[in-house]
């Protein structure tokens, strides 16, 4: 009987250590899930902000009498590369796009030229002006860049840049 007294203490300590490891693992898993959920919330918030800014800029393009100067070179007609890193409004170095702050995000408009047959509008034979609208939404560490192509009357293309 005297030999069993120490065995109960050792078995109890082993069980206590296992319970501690299980609790620690559960807390780490819960923390990881909380961080992942927070990242998803930021991503969704930046997407919603970018969509709001895009709609604001599209409203400007659709206003009667809206005009914009044409891209000066083929390079300045490309999607603006600074959209993926922009932190403040002003003229973009690479693209020459004038970035405007709006609703907590940024947008830029490029006049790409004219076409007689824009996508989704084959019933309109007259020339249509094409504009690229780029909107940026930033929430925390998440950035969303949305682009749309517009005629003076409607959106004909939309995409999300990564």
Q: Which residues, other chains included, contact 4 with Cβ-Cβ below 8 Å and sequence gap of 6+?
A: none
Tell me if 122 is assigned to some domain: yes
133: in domain: yes
Provide the pLDDT confidence category of residue 6 given band limits of 50, 70 and 90.
confident
How high is the pLDDT of residue 125? 67
Percent pLDDT > 90 in the chain is 47
Tell me, yes or no, whether 57 lies in a domain.
yes
* CA trace torsion 45, 49, 54, 59 (10° rounding): 130
Q: Give the residue-averaged pLDDT of 14-21.
A: 94
Q: Structural domain of residue 32, as residue ranges? A: 12-161
* pLDDT at residue 89 is higher than 70: yes
Q: Which own/partner pairs from 13-17 qualify as long-range (CB within 8 Å, at least 24 positions apart)?
A: none
pLDDT for 72? 84
Please report the DSSP string for 141-152 in residue order.
TEEEEEEEEE-S
User: Is 1 within a domain?
Assistant: no
Give the H/E segment covering residue 110: strand 105-115
Mean per-residue pLDDT of the chain? 87
**Residue 4 covered by a domain:** no
pLDDT tens digits for range 42-57: 999 999 999 999 999 9
What local confidence, expressed as pLDDT, does residue 124 receive?
56
List, for residues 115-150, the tens digit of each pLDDT value. Answer: 877 665 556 567 888 999 999 999 988 999 999 998
Q: Give domain status of residue 91, yes or no.
A: yes
Residue 107: pLDDT band with limits 50, 70, 90: very high
Residue 147 lies in a domain: yes
Token readout for 106 is: 């940024």
| Number of domains making up the chain | 1
């Amino acid at each position: 009987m005297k030999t069993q007294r120490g065995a109960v203490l050792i078995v109890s300590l082993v069980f206590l250590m296992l319970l501690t490891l299980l609790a620690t693992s559960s807390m780490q898993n819960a923390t990881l899930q909380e961080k992942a959920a927070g990242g998803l919330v930021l991503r969704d918030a930046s997407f919603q902000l970018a969509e709001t800014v895009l709609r604001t800029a599209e409203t400007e393009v659709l206003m009667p009498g809206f005009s914009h100067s044409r891209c000066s070179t083929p390079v300045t007609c490309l999607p603006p590369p600074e959209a993926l890193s922009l932190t403040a409004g002003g003229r973009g170095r690479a693209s020459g796009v004038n970035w405007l702050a709006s609703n907590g995000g940024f947008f830029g408009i490029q006049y790409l030229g004219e076409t007689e047959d824009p996508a989704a509008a084959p019933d309109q034979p007259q020339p249509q002006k094409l504009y690229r609208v780029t909107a940026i939404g930033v929430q925390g560490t998440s950035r969303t860049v949305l682009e749309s192509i517009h005629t003076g009357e409607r959106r004909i293309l939309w995409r999300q840049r990564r």
